[in-house]
Amino acid sequence: MLRTVKAMEGFAIGAKDGDIGEIADFIFDDKTWTIRYVVIDTGKWLSGRRVLVSPIVVGPADWENKRIPVLLNQEQVKNSPDINLNEELSQQDEIKYYDHFGWPYYWMGDDIWGPAAVPTELALEGIERQKMLSESINQSHLKSAQEVIDYSIKATDGDIGHVSDFIVDDVQWAIRHIVVDSRTWWPGKKVLVAPQWIAHVDWRNSNVYLNLSQNEIKTGPEFHPSDFKHNYDQELYGH
C-alpha cells in the first residue's frame, strides 16, 4: 500500500512491551530511493533521545489509531547503538547498528534490500550474513526526508515548484513518488514525479533536476492528498 511520509509523522511506535516514542523523520538511501530507517523521538522515556528503527522490524500499521508496531522490545531499543542523528549517518554507524541486531547488510546483495526483496526477510533465520571488510566501506548515501522537503524542483526548461512530500510503498519501503507543490508555477496544484525521472540532485544547493519538461509534468496526473488513490502508479506511468 502507498502512504505519504507526512501522513506517518507523529505515529506512535509500539514495541512488544510498550510504546517507545513517535515518528520524527525518515532516512532514505539516495541511490535506490528507499527508506532505510525510521527516526523515533523517544520523548520522556529516554529523555528525548532519538533512535533508529529499521523497516526490517516494522509491522503492519494501524492507520485508524495512528500506531505502528515494531518487533523489538524496549530493552533492545534502549541498548541499540547511540548514534548522533544531528550529523549525516555514516556507513560505520550502519555497520554498528546492523551488527548489534545481527542482520545481513542491506547494501551487500543484488536486490533492493541486499539479499532480500523486502526488509522483513532480513530478520528471518537462514539468510547468510556477508562479512563486512573495512575496504568495502563506502561513502554514505543516506538523507533525511525532513531536510529534503522544500528542495526546489527544476524541469529541463525551468522551475516547477518544491518537494512537498514523499509517497512510500510500505512493503518494500521504496519511495515511489515525490510530491511536488507547484504553487509558484501552477497555483493550487500538486503533481507527482518518480525518482527515475531525476537527472541529478544538487545536495549542496538543495535543487532536484528532472529530465522532463514543464509541459510533460503539467499534463501528468494531479495529486489530491485529501482523496488519496492507490492507482497513481498506473496513472503516472501510463501518462
78 or 140: which carries more pLDDT confidence?
78
8 A C-beta contact, residue 208 and residue 161: no
**Residues 135 and 30 reside in one and the same domain:** yes
- Range of lowest pLDDT (31-45, 56-70, 129-143, 164-178): 129-143
Structural domains in the chain (count): 2
**Residues 37 and 114 reside in one and the same domain:** yes
C-alpha cell at 183: 504553487
pLDDT beyond 90 at 6: yes
What pLDDT digit, counting tens, does each position of 66-76 carry? 999 999 999 99
Whole-number pLDDT of residue 135: 46
Whole-number pLDDT of residue 228: 59
- Residues above pLDDT 90, as percent of the chain: 62
Whole-number pLDDT of residue 129: 62
User: End of a domain among 109, 143, 177?
Assistant: 143
**Residues 72 and 97 reside in one and the same domain:** yes
When pLDDT is cut at 50, 70 and 90, the band that residue 152 belongs to is very high
User: End of a domain among 101, 119, 143?
Assistant: 143
pLDDT beyond 60 at 183: yes
Whole-number pLDDT of residue 79: 95
Supply the CATH number for residue 95's domain.
3.90.50.10
8 A C-beta contact, residue 22 and residue 11: yes
**CA distances (Å), 117 to each of 56, 111, 167, 173, 226, in order?**
11, 6, 19, 10, 31
Burial of 27 (0-12, 13-18, 19+ CB in 10 A): buried
User: End of a domain among 128, 143, 158?
Assistant: 143
Contacts of 147 (CB under 8 A, 6+ apart): none
When pLDDT is cut at 50, 70 and 90, the band that residue 237 belongs to is low
Q: Which residue has the cell 492528498?
A: 225
Whole-number pLDDT of residue 131: 58
Whole-number pLDDT of residue 161: 92
**Residues 222 and 173 reside in one and the same domain:** yes
- Residues above pLDDT 70, as percent of the chain: 88
What pLDDT digit, counting tens, does each position of 194-235 carry? 999 999 999 999 999 999 999 888 877 788 776 655 455 556
**Residues 111 and 226 reside in one and the same domain:** no
When pLDDT is cut at 50, 70 and 90, the band that residue 86 belongs to is confident
**Residues 171 and 212 reside in one and the same domain:** yes
Does the CA dihedral 236-196-120-85 come out positive or negative? Answer: negative
8 A C-beta contact, residue 97 and residue 81: yes
pTM score of the predicted model:
0.90
- Range of lowest pLDDT (154-163, 179-188, 222-231): 222-231
What pLDDT digit, counting tens, does each position of 102-143 carry? 888 898 888 999 889 999 998 886 566 665 544 455 567 899
Whole-number pLDDT of residue 42: 96
